[in-house]
Amino acid sequence: MSTAQTYVELRDIVKTFGTVIALNGVSMEVARGQVMCLLGDNGAGKSTLIKTLSGVHQPTRGEIRVGGDSVNFATPRDAQRLGIATVHQHLAIQPLMSVTRNFFLGREPVRGWGPFSRFDMKSAHSIVRDEMSRMGIDVRDPNQPVGTMSGGERQCVAISRAVHFGAKVLILDEPTAALGVKQAGVVLRYIAQARTRGLAVVFITHNVHHAYPVADAFTILKRGRSYGTFDKREVTREEVLQMMAGGEELDALESELEQSDSPAAAPPGDANEASSTAARDGQESQM
């Protein structure tokens, strides 16, 4: 079911790796100027879904539509050509290279022609400074190796690079996972800016508190299936959290933790043995 503004559409995507069914008929759509948060537990299929949309994986079944046309991406480059920019979970960044070199990697502005052309470092530096300052980051030295930047700043280099090179769709796989509150805030602000600039944004996270302030809608994945897409106006933060974790699982965990908190609450004898084994198994399956 696509609306007039839908820009990217995944229809009934199935992806198997040998006998592993990573995605089992997942549909999702994103409009320009919309932030779609893709939520779900570890192994739910979030990265696999966006890798399918980025041309890293080819779907086993299903259809991808961009701007109304059905597309087949043989490589990530095919997706990039259509303006789909992806910042993957494990950032492809060269830690020893300067901020500017990282920003332009493979797309350097040059001066002169043919054999006399060379990297135009001066204009490259000023583009990087401008783009980063739009995100509220003051790059003191564009020659600084990117590996010495903070996690949040690195994410911002990757995001601003995508926007600068004309992305229409921005996909971010867990950009805030390793960040503190303040740095996550910087990245979240930039996601909101990308939306204002008219990009269609897919934002993957585990963290409902990061998702909720910037999301327009949520798609929740569970074990390779979609649990549904919900407009932000229809659901509270608590409801999203409950759907993500499964309310019963959270309630069970809460009472389990309450019990293990107070030694006095531990039941004696065999019953104790059985319940602590169950608790341990439960914990292991969470890892």
Q: Which residues sit at the interface with Mg ion, rule CB under 5 A?
A: 47, 89
Sign of CA dihedral 49, 54, 56, 59: positive
The rounded distance, in Å, linking the Cα atoms of 220 and 230 is: 8
Q: What is d(CA 86, CA 79) in angstroms, rounded to the nearest whole number?
A: 9
Extract the tokens encoding 249: 């699982």
Tokens of 87: 């910042």
Q: Does 286 bind ligand ATP (CB under 6 A)?
A: no
Q: Interface with ligand ATP includes 45 (CB under 6 A)?
A: yes
Residue with the two structure tokens 């997942």: 26
Which residues on adjacent β-strands are paired with residue 173?
A: 204
| Binds 42: which of Mg ion, ligand ATP, none (CB < 5-8 Å by kind) | ligand ATP
Candidates 15-23, 102-110, 158-166, 266-274; binding stretch for ligand ATP (CB under 6 A): 15-23
Would you count residue 165 as binding ligand ATP (CB under 6 A)?
no
User: Which of Mg ion, ligand ATP, none lies near 48, with the C-beta cut-off 5 to 8 A by kind?
Assistant: ligand ATP
Q: How far is the CB of 54 from ligand ATP (least distance, A)?
A: 12
Distance (Å, whole) CA 65 – CA 7:
8
Q: Which of 44, 53, 135, 240 binds ligand ATP (CB under 6 A)?
A: 44
**Alpha-carbon dihedral angle through residues 65, 225, 208, 260, given to the nearest 10 degrees:** -170
Among 46, 125, 154, 232, indicate the residue that binds ligand ATP (CB under 6 A): 46
**Does residue 43 interact with ligand ATP by CB under 6 A?**
yes
What does 83 bind: ligand ATP, Mg ion, none (CB cut-off 5 to 8 Å by kind)? none
CB closer to ligand ATP out of 45 and 175: 45
Comparison of 124 and 171: residue with beta carbon closer to Mg ion: 171
Which strands make up the sheet holding 200-205, listed edge to edge?
Answer: 84-87, 169-173, 200-205, 34-40, 217-222, 225-231
Closest separation in Å from C-beta 186 to ligand ATP: 22
Least distance between ligand ATP and beta carbon 212 (Å):
18
**Closest separation between CB of residue 218 and Mg ion, Å?**
16
Phi and psi at 185, nearest 5°, equal -60, -40
Q: Could you tell me which of 166, 163, 158, 189 has the C-alpha nearest to residue 87?
A: 158
Kind and range of the H or E element at 281?
A: helix 269-286
Assess contact for 238 and 206: CB atoms under 8 A.
no
Applying CB under 6 A, which of residues 7, 26, 28, 48 lies at the interface with ligand ATP?
Answer: 48
**Site residues (vs ligand ATP, CB under 6 A):** 17, 20, 22, 40, 42-48, 89
